[in-house]
Amino acid sequence: MIRKGRTHASSPDSPALRELQDEGQRSVIRIIFAVTGLVLGCFCVMQMAAGNFLFAGFELVCTVGLLYAAWRVDTVRNLQLWIYGYIFSTVAFLIYIIVMPGASTTAFVWGYIVPVLSYLLVGRLKGALITIAYTALAAFLYLRKREVSLTPSDMIDLGNAIGCVVMVMLFVHLFESRRAAAHHRLQLMARTDGLTGVATRGSFQQYLDQCILESVRSQNRFVLVILDIDHFKEVNDRWGHDAGDQALRHICDVLGQRLRNSDTLGRLGGEEFGLLLRNTDRFSAEPLIEYLREHLCRNPLNYRGHEIPLSATFGMAEWPLDGESSEALYRQADRRLYRGKEAGRNQLISEDVPLNQSIAQEGGVA
């Protein structure tokens, strides 16, 4: 069964992307911890001035802890644990000031930051669950403490409080949904070649680096293939750049029809492409590349009623036989690619052989 390969760089799990997301999240957490600590510090001073020394002492401890956390957040290994610890501590504190005897009648307004913090720190689904649970519990406790009657005046006050939370939650949910969608589109644009829809050179490099790390642990071999479209300049010169663009897209479609879901196709620049074939060696990969080479020749581009023949030259390198680093693999595959060009193009060079022997085997596997 022929399956379309993973020609798109759509995985959100590349190490570089995870590192960038983690760095951004730590920056947000640092600001939130610092601001929360400074706000509690101000209230600590006001509580002392009001003679509430016990509560002021508690707020002082929280202030010191939050400022320390803001300072150390970059070195924390389990960031999610700190995030949930902060959220649930904040929710518990807000619940307490609602039911605390002698608390300010306006203390409940701090509950409106729960939707913002929850959505910002843990995303839409978990943020919504935390906000709903907090709102229900806070409303229940508020009603028990205040002994709100069913008079129109009390119902209006209650409606204002709950309605405001619902509106804030709705707006934050809509904003976070649109932000997440825009962020996903930007990530996809950064990882995907705009013309062909395959991985960019940068994201292909990330896949290769990740593949090397995984192979070092598992000792599973993989193959890197670099291919260059034969006489591509003649296509542009004779048929125009629009035909050249369509030829590049056509080649990616043809190659993608036979690749596995675990394989990666990327555009390295111009008419040069890279193939990453996981969990395979040179001997297993050669029949596939030969099939792709022949399949490309058998499927010319149909452009405005004309058939434009296309072919490619392939250079192959195997990890770790031909190199253990990405630079070494690129160098070896690139060298074999140019040996194939010198030998007449439209062929695969998968190992080092004398040039006269590769010429004698033109059109086949060297």
Cite the active site residues. Answer: 271
Q: What burial letters (b/e) apply to 118-144, b meaning 16+ CB within 10 Å?
A: bbbbbebeebbebbeebbeebbeebee
Contacts of 102 (CB under 8 A, 6+ apart): none
Q: What is the rounded distance in angstroms from the CA atom of residue 325 to the CA atom of residue 216?
A: 11
Least Cα distance to 189 among 199, 177, 178 occurs for 199
DSSP string spanning 307-351? EE---EEEEEEEETTT-SSHHHHHHHHHHHHHHHHHTTSSSEE-S
Q: What is the rounded distance in angstroms from the CA atom of residue 360 to the CA atom of residue 26?
A: 60
Tell me if 335 sits within 8 A of 329, measured CB to CB.
no
CA angle 123, 72, 16 (to 5 degrees): 55
Tell me if 98 sits within 8 A of 143, measured CB to CB.
no
CA angle 166, 179, 115 (to 5 degrees): 25
Q: What is the rounded distance in angstroms from the CA atom of residue 116 to the CA atom of residue 114?
A: 5
Tokens representing 339 are 């040996």
Q: What is the rounded distance in angstroms from the CA atom of residue 188 to the CA atom of residue 44?
A: 47
Least Cα distance to 11 among 149, 199, 169 occurs for 199
Class of residue 191 by CB neighbours under 10 A (exposed 0-12, middle 13-18, buried 19+): buried
Continuous segment of H or E residues that includes residue 74: none
Tell me if 1 sits within 8 A of 251, measured CB to CB.
no
